[in-house]
Structure 1
Amino acid sequence: MIIGIGSDLTNMDRIANSLDRWGDRFEARCFTEVERAKAAKRPYTRVGTFAKRWAAKEAFVKAVGTGFRRGVYHIDIGVVNAPSGAPTLALANGAAARLAEITPSGHEVLIHLTLTDDHPWAQAFVVIEAQPL
């Protein structure tokens, strides 16, 4: 059963401006070490890499219905790759707690994520699925 759906469209120029203005402080506050390392390996598409991940975080908070409130922060939502290579989310702290709150008992959660970009836009869709154990 689907328990949450979220989408976001982010302007890459907005992310580039934040990176230029705040630099490492912005990165450390909003992106996990895994995300920062991936962006560092992509010097020509660094902004797009961050923008897609920003969109994924925004899409997730829409899917769980909180926005960035109730202890849910950007840094607690990280884009990682599943063994298949598909993107998914790794959650910590308030983000993980909120997902646990909306997960029906006796179910496990699968997070489906898709990312795309075409300058100046980055887009993400999140579908949260609960499957019976």
Structure 2
Amino acid sequence: MITSRQGGQGGLILGIFMIYGIGIDLVDIKRMGKVIDRWGTRFMNRVFTAKEINFCFQGSKLESSFALRFAAKEAFSKAVGLGMRKGIRWQDIEIVHNKRGRPDLNLTGKALSFCHAEGIISWYVSLSDDGDYGIAVVVLEKRATY
């Protein structure tokens, strides 16, 4: 079976795919608010890109926006099976949105290098919040090898 996928970096990919990894993370939104209150820009600049920070401040749900991005970064680290090791920095994993508002990953640095080395060619991100919690799921795919 030949399928096509929109690759994580925007290119159309043909082939047979397999799941490389799945990551999920749940974040307490109020706790994220306390972290932001305590550490402020020091925390934000260490974990988030300028683009992510600007996005979060544009909306009405500041704590939730930061919590969801943090959860997605954690979910990605779980999907690759490394946690935040191998030199991958928080800012190497940027959460962006397409024109329709769908979340996506913009990987740079060691996160992107790791994906290339492992043959990871596409990914999916889902974010949701309800009440006090935010959740993110990341699914990574690679071309199947037989």
Question: Tell me, what secondary structure is at the counterpart of 1:23?
Answer: helix
* 1:14 Cα deviation from its structure 2 partner: 1.8
Per the normalisation by structure 2, the TM-score is 0.81
Report Cα offsets for 1:8-45 as digits up to 9, x if no partner. Answer: 00111221111001101111110011111111101x30
- Whether contact under 8 Å (1:48, 1:117) holds in the other structure is yes
Match of 2:113 among 97, 114, 131: 97
1-side partners of 2:118 and 2:98: how far apart?
A: 23
Partner of 1:11: 28
Q: Which amino acid aligns with 1:99?
A: C
2-side partners of 1:66 and 1:120: how far apart?
A: 28
Structure 1 segment 33-44 matched on structure 2, within 5 A: 33-42=50-59, 44=60
Identity of aligned residues (%): 39
* 1:73 Cα deviation from its structure 2 partner: 1.5
Aligned length: 127
2-side partners of 1:39 and 1:27: how far apart?
A: 11
Moved over 2 A (4+): 82-85
C-alpha RMSD over aligned residues: 1.5
- Whether contact under 8 Å (1:110, 1:131) holds in the other structure is no
* 1:84 Cα deviation from its structure 2 partner: 4.1
Partner of 1:23: 40
Partner of 1:32: 49
Q: Which amino acid aligns with 2:142?
A: A
Partner of 1:65: 81
The structure with more radius of gyration? 2
Q: Which amino acid aligns with 1:29?
A: R
1-side partners of 2:109 and 2:32: how far apart?
A: 24
Please list every run of 5 or more consecutive structure 1 residues that lacks an aligned counterpart in the other structure: none
Match of 1:75 among 78, 91, 97: 91
* 1:101 Cα deviation from its structure 2 partner: 2.2
* 1:131 Cα deviation from its structure 2 partner: 4.2
